[in-house]
């Protein structure tokens, strides 16, 4: 049930773009994206609730392809502050209860 993130790690120079993918073997009803800086708690970026939905946050945006059961996070013109580990979370229904399950994360390093 854990979503699969790719790549596991990416290194960029400031100003470059990156795409982080999140896919699931089960039907997706929503996708949550978080960023965690080293030693800190994860911070919410955005949530996508509908297939085809796209959202943006500064120069970070995401799309949700319900049919393909995947979501992608786009980081445009990356800044040093974008460095961190990005997690996607997907909601599954099991035993009548809903659970948010996170992927293993993608470590993004932005260098000057």
Positions that interact with another protein (CB under 8 A): 29-30, 32, 40-44, 47, 49, 87, 89, 91, 97-105
Q: Is the CB of 97 or the CB of 112 nearer to another protein?
A: 97
DSSP 8-state assignment for residue 40: S
**63: exposed, middle or buried (Cβ count in 10 Å: 0-12, 13-18, 19+):** middle
Q: Is the CB of 40 or the CB of 67 nearer to another protein?
A: 40
| Shortest distance (Å) from residue 12 CB to another protein | 20
68: which strand partners?
none
Q: Is the CB of 96 or the CB of 112 nearer to another protein?
A: 96
Query: Is the previous residue joined to 7 through a cis bond, with omega within 30 degrees of 0?
Result: yes
């Amino acid at each position: 049930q854990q979503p699969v993130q790719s790549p596991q790690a990416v290194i960029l120079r400031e100003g470059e773009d990156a795409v982080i993918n999140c896919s699931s073997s089960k039907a997706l009803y929503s996708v949550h994206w978080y960023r965690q800086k080293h030693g800190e708690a994860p911070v919410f970026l955005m949530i996508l609730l509908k297939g085809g939905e796209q959202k943006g946050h500064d120069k970070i945006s995401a799309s949700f392809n319900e049919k393909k059961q995947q979501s992608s996070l786009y980081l445009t013109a990356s800044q040093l502050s974008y460095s961190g580990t990005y997690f996607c979370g997907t909601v599954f229904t099991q035993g009548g209860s809903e659970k948010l399950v996170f992927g293993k994360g993608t470590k993004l390093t932005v260098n000057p």
